């Protein structure tokens, strides 16, 4: 097994790492404080080709392999966890839905501006009563001639209040439960009846708005349905499976940031006439933190490799997301501990890493659901 990076992969990682160091990190505390969507950074990432990384060039993307995409997203997340979610939701969910299930006309009209970064995308699946239990969603899309009329609401939608294109899931055959869900391309700026009820005031993940959406008689032409009717649940599960690789990448990036900060602090902070990095207790913490980060990174690449090879990767994606999510929280927690009292203040970024890391264990499949998924794959 070859663990070495190609020249192109190494150059991409270095380029994004430099961008994260010079442009994202200096803004991270401000983004966390204001919770404002960083349009200027998104525009800069678009210029660098980072808003459509794995999407083929013919559809406006950069045509990168999934290893490169995962590494780049880890670097972006190392700079800002919120910006990592912005990119992951935009590419892995919104863009990939249209790329995988859209027809050529839909790709040309809606995917290209997303992949080029001229527009931002969102993925509206979850509802107040339908998070992990997707089939219990209540949003409906009723056929009316050449249109669908969508009524209902969505919750926890990343980028939901700023997106120009939103992939919305609704029941077209309510009596069929999960087998009666379809997906649609919705354009908030064009479609009357698209209402942003508000955004959540969250523990972390600042800079990426998490919106509550409502659809009140929203009319969508049938030409904006993705794929066949009643295939939405299958589409969503396939898309989320790939998305878990990028949430693993977000976890790796945040964990790396927490480790880097803790290591630097430990070498600078002195107690008892020596840097605290000289104490074995701190050395062991740092050693464990680094080992966990490297293991999470390898699981991320294993899942990416299987996806690229066209092999089954449900278990690997779930394991990568599960482990990286928990590692990001654990490493961030130890980072606070190494900082001591300072780690509990906003004078240092250690506490931000912890707040950003916690979300990894919740969205795109909770840790509990992922353990069910892994067990199911073991039984097959």
Distance CA 229, CA 154 (A): 20
> What burial letters (b/e) apply to 62-94, b meaning 16+ CB within 10 Å?
bebbbbbbbbbbbbbbbbbbbbbbbbbbbbbbb
Residues with catalytic function:
364
Measured N-to-C along each axis, helices 81-88 and 350-358 cross at an angle, to the nearest 10 degrees, of 30
pLDDT at 3: 82
pLDDT at 380: 75
Mean pLDDT of 350-356: 98
User: Each residue of 208-227: pLDDT tens digit?
Assistant: 999 999 999 999 999 999 99
pLDDT at 2 over 90: no
Q: Which residues contact 109 (CB under 8 A, 6 or more apart)?
A: none
pLDDT at 107: 98
Pairing of strands 194-199, 210-221: antiparallel
pLDDT at 1: 67
Average pLDDT, the chain: 97
Phi-psi region of 207 (alpha: psi -120 to 50; beta: other; left: phi over 0): left
Share of the chain above pLDDT 90, in %: 99
**Strand, coil or helix: what is 228?**
coil
- Could you tell me the CA-to-CA distances from 297 to 201, 263, 285 in Å, in that order? 30, 19, 18
Residue count of the chain: 380
Q: Which residues contact 257 (CB under 8 A, 6 or more apart)?
A: 77, 78, 79, 349, 353
Mean pLDDT of 276-305: 98
CA 139 vs. chain centroid, Å, equals 23
Residue 69 tokens read as 């995409």
Q: Are 259 and 269 in contact (CB under 8 A)?
A: no
**Domains of the chain with CATH codes:** 7-115 (1.10.540.10), 121-230 (2.40.110.10), 233-379 (1.20.140.10)
Measured N-to-C along each axis, helices 367-379 and 314-339 cross at an angle, to the nearest 10 degrees, of 140
pLDDT at 289 over 80: yes
User: Each residue of 180-201: pLDDT tens digit?
Assistant: 999 999 999 999 999 999 999 9
Mean pLDDT of 323-350: 98
User: Each residue of 309-327: pLDDT tens digit?
Assistant: 999 999 999 999 999 999 9
**Strand, coil or helix: what is 133?**
coil
- Other residues' Cβ atoms within 10 Å of the Cβ of residue 39: 10
pLDDT at 341 over 70: yes
């Amino acid at each position: 097994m070859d663990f070495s990076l190609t020249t192109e992969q190494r150059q991409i990682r270095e380029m994004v790492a430099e961008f994260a160091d010079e442009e994202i990190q200096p803004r991270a505390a401000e983004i966390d404080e204001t919770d404002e969507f960083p349009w200027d950074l998104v525009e800069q990432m678009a210029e660098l080709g980072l808003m459509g990384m794995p999407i083929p060039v013919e559809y406006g993307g950069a045509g990168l392999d999934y290893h490169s995409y995962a590494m780049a997203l880890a670097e972006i997340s190392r700079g800002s966890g919120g910006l990592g979610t912005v990119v992951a939701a935009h590419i892995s969910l919104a863009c990939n839905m249209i790329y995988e299930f859209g027809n050529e006309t839909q790709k040309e009209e809606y995917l290209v501006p997303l992949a080029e970064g001229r527009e931002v995308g969102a993925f509206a699946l979850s509802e107040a009563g339908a998070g992990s239990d997707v089939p219990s969603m209540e949003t409906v899309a009723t056929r009316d001639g050449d249109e669908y009329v969508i009524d209902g609401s969505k919750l926890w939608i990343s980028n939901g209040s700023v997106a120009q294109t939103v992939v919305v899931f609704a029941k077209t055959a309510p009596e069929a439960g999960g087998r009666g869900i379809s997906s649609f391309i919705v354009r908030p700026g064009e479609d009357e009846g698209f209402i942003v009820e508000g955004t959540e005031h969250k523990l972390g993940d600042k800079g990426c708005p998490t919106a509550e959406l409502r659809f009140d008689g929203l009319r969508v032409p049938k030409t904006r349905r993705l794929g066949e009717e009643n295939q939405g649940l299958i589409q969503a599960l396939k898309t989320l499976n790939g998305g878990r690789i990028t949430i693993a990448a977000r976890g790796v990036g945040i964990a790396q940031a927490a480790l880097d900060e803790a290591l630097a602090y430990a070498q600078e902070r002195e107690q008892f006439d020596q840097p605290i990095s000289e104490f074995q207790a701190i050395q062991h913490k740092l050693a464990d933190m680094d080992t966990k980060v490297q293991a999470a990174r390898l699981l991320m690449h294993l899942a990416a490799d299987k996806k690229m090879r066209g092999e089954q990767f449900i278990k690997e994606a779930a394991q990568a997301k599960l482990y990286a999510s928990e590692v990001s929280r654990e490493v961030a927690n130890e980072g606070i501990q190494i900082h001591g009292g300072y780690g509990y203040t906003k004078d240092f970024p250690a506490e931000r890493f912890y707040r950003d890391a916690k979300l990894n264990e919740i969205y795109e499949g909770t840790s509990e659901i992922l353990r069910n998924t892994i067990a199911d794959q073991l039984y097959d």
